[in-house]
């Protein structure tokens, strides 16, 4: 047992959790970030590699993580952007025909530190009661870790999109339509679904409206991403120049950015939605969808002028979807690509295709 690294996780309110080091050693001996919890039962690799987790530490509520290993086919981005992972029990052996490695080695390879052996039930209940907060873990003493947690800004007021966006445009898919996708932290599964209905040009987050229109797209896609939507860069001022010019579909951060561009308001949630079993009610059909979600911020109900609010979260009433009145634009807060998660909402990609077909902008 000489190789066991005894760690502590200390939150900004002074709450302490004991555990042992997994994954990579933290840079400087301490890892810090906003601590959130995710309730998925499977899909830990997709969660860890989701760029929307930039600046955050992911607590997995499911107690046994890593049992089926990892495979490069499940990566959602070129690398993880999270600050760390927190688990109850990390599987020391993995078993799955698809796997080509184990989770601990995966974390070490990508420089992601973690802490295992944590009472994640107590931690999750504490975050639910007190709200998501910054934490720090490592081998340092409690006061040093508390100081490190208190100087980390978390996710509020930060432009984290610039950290995760692509630096150069690239193309994926082979569909007959043409879509320009803003990369605010786009997931690979999202692009695979878009690639079935269109040839997709993925562009950096700070691409201007004029540059987008010059590509003559049939539609514009606003991706998921991390951080405060009010700090997401120039897109909020550029997007109004695209509204009414080309059909638009937004997911997660894209939903929040669309709402801001149309005059709405966003707010920081107490502990966010992070999981694969969130019930969403469709006001139009009365249908309930079980959805995959990952967001710390949300759109204020009733704040966006000129839209019909289409979806609501049954857990807490958060606005989950909207359609612009008289403009070819719609968005949802949840993740229809479901990587990981249920497939109830994948029809939204077909709805985007239908919207582009019914509002042609490049007809001869």
Q: Which of these, 48, 356, 16, lies nearest to 176 by C-alpha position?
A: 356
CA distance 341 to 15: 31
Residue 308: phi and psi, rounded to 5, are -105, 120
Q: Quick check: is 82 catalytic?
A: no
What is the 8-class DSSP label of residue 362? S
Burial code (b: 16+ CB inside 10 Å, e: under 16) for 221-250 equals bbbbbbbbbbebbebbebbeebbebbbbbb
CA distance 178 to 169: 14
Give, in degrees to the nearest 5, the angle at Cα 163 between 161 and 168. Answer: 90
* Residue of 34, 238, 289, 337 marked catalytic: 337
What is the 8-class DSSP label of residue 70? B
Q: Quick check: is 337 catalytic?
A: yes
Q: Quick check: is 252 catalytic?
A: yes
Radius of gyration of the CA atoms of the chain, in A: 20
* Residue of 46, 82, 238, 252 marked catalytic: 252
Burial code (b: 16+ CB inside 10 Å, e: under 16) for 287-320 equals eebbbbbbbbbbbeeebbeebeebbbbeeeebbb
Give, in degrees to the nearest 5, the angle at Cα 19 between 17 and 23. Answer: 125
Active site residues: 252, 335, 337
């Amino acid at each position: 047992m000489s190789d066991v690294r005894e760690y502590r996780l200390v939150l900004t309110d002074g709450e302490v959790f004991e555990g042992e080091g997994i994954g990579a050693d933290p840079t400087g001996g301490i890892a810090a970030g906003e601590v959130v919890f995710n309730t998925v039962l499977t899909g830990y690799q997709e969660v860890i590699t989701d760029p929307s987790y930039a600046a955050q530490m992911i607590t997995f509520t499911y107690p046994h993580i890593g049992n089926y290993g990892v495979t490069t086919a499940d990566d959602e981005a070129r690398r993880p952007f999270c600050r760390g992972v927190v688990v109850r029990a990390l599987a020391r052996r993995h078993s799955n025909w698809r796997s080509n490695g184990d989770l601990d080695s995966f974390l070490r390879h990508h420089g992601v530190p973690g802490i295992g052996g944590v009472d994640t039930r107590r931690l999750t209940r504490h975050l639910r009661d007190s709200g998501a907060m910054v934490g720090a873990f490592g081998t340092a003493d409690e006061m040093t870790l508390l100081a490190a947690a208190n100087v980390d800004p978390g996710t509020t007021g930060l432009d984290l999109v610039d950290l995760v966006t692509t630096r150069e445009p690239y193309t994926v898919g082979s569909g007959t339509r043409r879509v320009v996708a803003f990369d605010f932290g786009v997931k690979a599964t999202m692009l695979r679904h878009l690639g079935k209905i269109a040839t997709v040009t993925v562009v950096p987050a700070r691409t201007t409206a004029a540059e987008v229109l010059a590509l003559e797209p049939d539609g514009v896609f606003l991706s998921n991403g991390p951080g405060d939507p009010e700090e997401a860069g120039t897109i909020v001022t550029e997007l109004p120049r695209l509204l009414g010019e080309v059909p638009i579909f937004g997911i997660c951060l894209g939903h929040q950015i669309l709402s801001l561009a149309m005059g709405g308001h966003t707010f920081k949630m107490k502990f966010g939605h992070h999981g694969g079993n969130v019930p969403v009610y469709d006001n139009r059909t009365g249908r309930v969808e079980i959805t995959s979600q990952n967001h710390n911020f949300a759109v204020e109900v009733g704040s966006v002028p000129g839209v019909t609010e289409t979806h609501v979260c049954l857990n807490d009433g958060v606005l989950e979807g909207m359609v612009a009145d008289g403009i070819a634009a719609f968005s949802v807060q949840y993740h229809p690509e479901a990587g990981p998660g249920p497939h109830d909402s994948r029809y939204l990609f077909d709805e985007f295709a239908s919207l582009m077909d019914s509002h042609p902008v490049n007809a001869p």
